[in-house]
Structure 1
């Protein structure tokens, strides 16, 4: 008969419940709630230290999350993910999935879920998700499903795949290792895979068809409505258009691109025609067709300047003001490229009709007017000089062009880190940290751009979750909950015992950590099996499964936190989508264990 919990255990459970309520209500930001949680733990343990500890030990416990390997791992993975984005290393994979999504959005999502599931069976699900996050962010930007509707389902699919093998997650390895130490035989890699595959047949349709409908479109209005620019596309000697009719290559181009008065018959090298579309669509079309929307000599000059100065090439939007000398000029007569070494890629004309003849010169070039928005490419120094000298007002949000010369290098670094972690040569923390360092040293990610890769919300949330996990364990709250659970299970049938253990560990892993749940739950399950005369293996597997059902809160697992910033998720998004999935998995996995072990 367990006694009353200690005051520290009661306080630990109270702080955890209050933190959860605050997150779920959403009245305060996640950063404030996380910092308040850490502060309460620090102050409480300073004035009321745990037995056998000094006040300073409580401070160390509360703030240990900021130096914890889990947080370092997450930050390193974010940096490597940034490296893949800024070098364009994932563009081939992104274009492949984009073609699938073009066929059908639902088909594209299903294919993506299956890929994440299968890969995570043999590779730790964390690097799998790190690879897929920037791909789906790019797809969302190109008009596929918004990342807020895809990342939580993808994360859940990777967790399902990781659940299927003993090597799928580090938690599985931990549970199996503890079980061996308790005297159980070693489990093979696919020891319980059939049970998980059957359960996944029920879970994957939920991820595919239901979960995206429970998530909001978190794209901003600016992202939803982008400016369309008019540009002149020149056909190069090696262009796919050279010698072919335009209709033969239209299927390879983005939907947002439009051709104005396209020539009939085969197109010749150096031929020019007008196109319009978003910046991304024009860029994608020029790359796919190997054409040019600015003179080649200007582009080469910009690239040389970027290499010499060690700066990134950027693209900005700049509004033509009433004082600008560019008004009534055309791009060829403006001398912009000669004077400033920048390239104007396109012109957006708001609230006016393109096509009126007075807006064009005799050569067919559009005359620049007040209020036009120019899409300009160059190094930051030259862009600022151009805007100042020609009375342009730069809009916020310079977009840096991918450094494609380092794309293969960035992909190799990420592949090496993932490979070393997957085959067990290095822990994921060391492999990811080493990969991030190499990204810095090789210039794939620049030191002054680190802030763009990291999320303050994720950092303080990770630190708070680590502090909660430690106080739950060290205060004795986890042990007391386990003993109380064991006392009540003696009155239940074997099938309900399995479900209760799995549900208990699931709750623990969603509020503390999966490592805590595995460390506490495995010995408890082994002890319950001995006391009730049940086979130990299915109860141990109930713990293993429960440790992986970490869908209901962002603090439950590191990949939950990785997607939080990119998907613009709130705490309640995880609750709304994760709780039904937890119930589906607990039910199906419990039935699978009962049938498999004839209980």
Structure 2
């Protein structure tokens, strides 16, 4: 218990990184049990207990799900949902917020919370900059919806898998993916009016009057035979254009094939416009060559911003005379000129000549981009973007949903006994999905490090070790007896609420994974002491670990939105505490009803 308390304090203070605390915890358990082994064990058994978390099936499942989640992100499989969301916001702000909350909750049921929020976060910030609801009023409700959705399935968060894995180690039956989803969905119906209508009113408007505008890049659009522009008038396509994109030249009549028009937009605006209009801003032969090299070399295409310096070779040259594409195999998509607008030049003037300070939007493979920057003395800015491999988006989605279906409802299978539903443990189906992501190229082998979080891996491994030693040392039984003495006179609803609040307190001021490993064996022993069914008490722990709304340190997504919304600690506490109380009361009642307690 001293070790566990020390870990809690270390996590809460945050002065040392989570990875260091986790590794130090594992080392202390291994060394401590070697010199002071548990009763009826050998000194080397402590090594098995301390390092067993790295081979635990829950950790393997978490890593496989991270890989599949990465596959959805890098292939752009979630982008259609994001674009649909943006269109709804343009219709009505309140409707847009409601649809966003429902979508966020639904996606986080099968995809880890963090990638879902990472996908939706820039959309909400961009919408706020275009005059929609301020980001500071929407990001905390969005994060809460993501956390509620992650609570609803056993694969929604790594904490859920951890609780389910520890419960199985304690002798309980394995829970399916949607084992308790109806309970969470009913609680969500109660909580959503608060998220949608009340929480935004409790949050301040932290938007600033003067925001730094995104760079607008000027370029020339070529109308291709397959373009949506061919044969149409400007008025026919104006409503389809993105808000951060515009034509600097407006044709008098119809758009003609081969016509080149001056356009401007942000990076995202140009990308959206090219997808909608199917025009070209770079020569087709350059883009095709980059795509072919990307497939043959197995490298991702990137889009970066580069600044033209005073020593650059391309100063005072035009794009066609600079030979950039021939020399380096990269394509310049647009030019941002800080001091004078390119659009002010006469339509009949020659091509734009590069000047010192121009920011170029360049696409290509990493080696070509590096050669261009060094060879022509350009300064590459941070924040480069990897172009999604959209050709594999459908495949990645099928793999992800297939793995989930295989672990939840099963798939039809013909065996010796006839037709039946084949179901697999989530660890096996997730591993199979991760392997398919690698084999099909949705996730590259050399990019696994970006899919896996070292912080999560060592934290889960340390949490499993702490949970094991709390159980094997008898500390869980002792704590269970103490809590049972205090809870024995309460009704079942009170017992469940007390356990849920206890775990919620831990998860909001320490690690939710560690709270899960401590709370699960305690709840198991309390059920034994009070002669109550074990499963609802284990679920009370699982739910409590996910009620991390009240502090910014409770979960990584809470920290992710803190800077974007310019939130203070009090914003989380003011909006999160009522939500915690609503969820605890509702979930406790639903557990009692569902399990006939």
**TM-score range with shorter-chain normalisation?**
0.7 to 0.9
Per the alignment, do residues 561 and 196 of structure 1 end up closer, same or farther by CA in structure 2, a change over 3 Å counting? closer
State the match for 1:231 in structure 2. 219
Per the alignment, do residues 36 and 573 of structure 1 end up closer, same or farther by CA in structure 2, a change over 3 Å counting? farther
State the match for 1:413 in structure 2. 399
- Tell me the distance in 2 between the aligned counterparts of 1:192 and 1:377: 44
SS where residue 292 of structure 1 aligns? coil
- Tell me the distance in 2 between the aligned counterparts of 1:345 and 1:16: 55
TM normalised by structure 2 equals 0.78
Which of 465, 468, 471 pairs up with 1:467?
465
State the match for 2:414 in structure 1. none
Cα offset for 1:175? 7.8
Which of 436, 439, 458 pairs up with 1:438?
436
Is 1:410–1:444's contact at 8 Å kept on the other side of the alignment? yes
TM normalised by structure 1 equals 0.78
- Tell me the distance in 2 between the aligned counterparts of 1:99 and 1:389: 43
Cα offset for 1:39? 3.0
State the match for 2:14 in structure 1. 26
Is 1:62–1:467's contact at 8 Å kept on the other side of the alignment? yes
SS where residue 318 of structure 1 aligns? strand
Per the alignment, do residues 374 and 199 of structure 1 end up closer, same or farther by CA in structure 2, a change over 3 Å counting? closer
CA RMSD across the alignment: 4.3
Is 1:51 paired with 2:39?
yes
Per the alignment, do residues 327 and 34 of structure 1 end up closer, same or farther by CA in structure 2, a change over 3 Å counting? same
- Tell me the distance in 1 between the aligned counterparts of 2:435 and 2:559: 22
Structure 1 residue ranges without an equivalent (≥5): 1-11, 164-168, 530-535, 555-559
Which of 523, 526, 529 pairs up with 1:524?
526
Per the alignment, do residues 553 and 461 of structure 1 end up closer, same or farther by CA in structure 2, a change over 3 Å counting? farther
SS where residue 236 of structure 1 aligns? coil
State the match for 1:376 in structure 2. 362
Aligned length: 555
Is 1:45–1:58's contact at 8 Å kept on the other side of the alignment? yes
Alignment of 1:127-146 (within 5 A): 127=111, 129=113, 132-133=116-117, 135-136=119-120, 139=123, 143=127
- Tell me the distance in 2 between the aligned counterparts of 1:390 and 1:118: 48
Per the alignment, do residues 199 and 82 of structure 1 end up closer, same or farther by CA in structure 2, a change over 3 Å counting? closer
- Tell me the distance in 1 between the aligned counterparts of 2:27 and 2:456: 17
Alignment of 1:62-81 (within 5 A): 62-81=50-69
- Tell me the distance in 2 between the aligned counterparts of 1:104 and 1:19: 47
Worse-superposed segment, 201-210 or 423-432: 201-210
- Tell me the distance in 2 between the aligned counterparts of 1:21 and 1:148: 29
Is 1:404 paired with 2:404?
no
State the match for 1:4 in structure 2. none
Cα offset for 1:523? 6.1
Per the alignment, do residues 210 and 79 of structure 1 end up closer, same or farther by CA in structure 2, a change over 3 Å counting? farther
Per the alignment, do residues 568 and 464 of structure 1 end up closer, same or farther by CA in structure 2, a change over 3 Å counting? farther
Cα offset for 1:527? 4.8
State the match for 1:6 in structure 2. none
Alignment of 1:241-280 (within 5 A): 241-280=229-268
SS where residue 19 of structure 2 aligns? helix
Map Cα deviations across residues 300-347 of structure 1 (whole Å, 9 max, x no partner): 222223233332222222222223332222223333233433211001
Is 2:466–2:518's contact at 8 Å kept on the other side of the alignment? no
Per the alignment, do residues 469 and 224 of structure 1 end up closer, same or farther by CA in structure 2, a change over 3 Å counting? farther
Map Cα deviations across residues 510-557 of structure 1 (whole Å, 9 max, x no partner): 56465775565356336525xxxxxx56x8645534432322569xxx
Structure 2 residue ranges without an equivalent (≥5): 129-134, 155-159, 411-422
Is 1:108 paired with 2:96?
yes
SS where residue 219 of structure 2 aligns? strand
- Tell me the distance in 2 between the aligned counterparts of 1:106 and 1:24: 37
SS where residue 291 of structure 1 aligns? coil
Map Cα deviations across residues 467-497 of structure 1 (whole Å, 9 max, x no partner): 2222222222221122122223344456544
Is 1:293 paired with 2:295?
no
Is 2:483–2:526's contact at 8 Å kept on the other side of the alignment? no
SS where residue 438 of structure 2 aligns? helix
Cα offset for 1:417? 1.4
- Tell me the distance in 2 between the aligned counterparts of 1:213 and 1:35: 42
Cα offset for 1:82? 1.7
Cα offset for 1:591? 4.8
Map Cα deviations across residues 11-56 of structure 1 (whole Å, 9 max, x no partner): x2x3333322332233333223323333333333233222222232
Is 2:139–2:561's contact at 8 Å kept on the other side of the alignment? yes
Cα offset for 1:226? 3.8
- Tell me the distance in 1 between the aligned counterparts of 2:368 and 2:349: 28
State the match for 1:391 in structure 2. 377
Map Cα deviations across residues 101-121 of structure 1 (whole Å, 9 max, x no partner): 44455543432433455678x
Per the alignment, do residues 490 and 345 of structure 1 end up closer, same or farther by CA in structure 2, a change over 3 Å counting? closer
- Tell me the distance in 1 between the aligned counterparts of 2:181 and 2:304: 54
SS where residue 267 of structure 1 aligns? coil
State the match for 1:548 in structure 2. 543
Map Cα deviations across residues 54-90 of structure 1 (whole Å, 9 max, x no partner): 2322233222222322222222222222222222222
Per the alignment, do residues 45 and 353 of structure 1 end up closer, same or farther by CA in structure 2, a change over 3 Å counting? same
Worse-superposed segment, 438-447 or 332-341: 332-341
Map Cα deviations across residues 443-483 of structure 1 (whole Å, 9 max, x no partner): 22112212222222222222222222222222222211221
Cα offset for 1:196? 5.5
SS where residue 545 of structure 2 aligns? coil
Alignment of 1:160-175 (within 5 A): 161-162=152-153
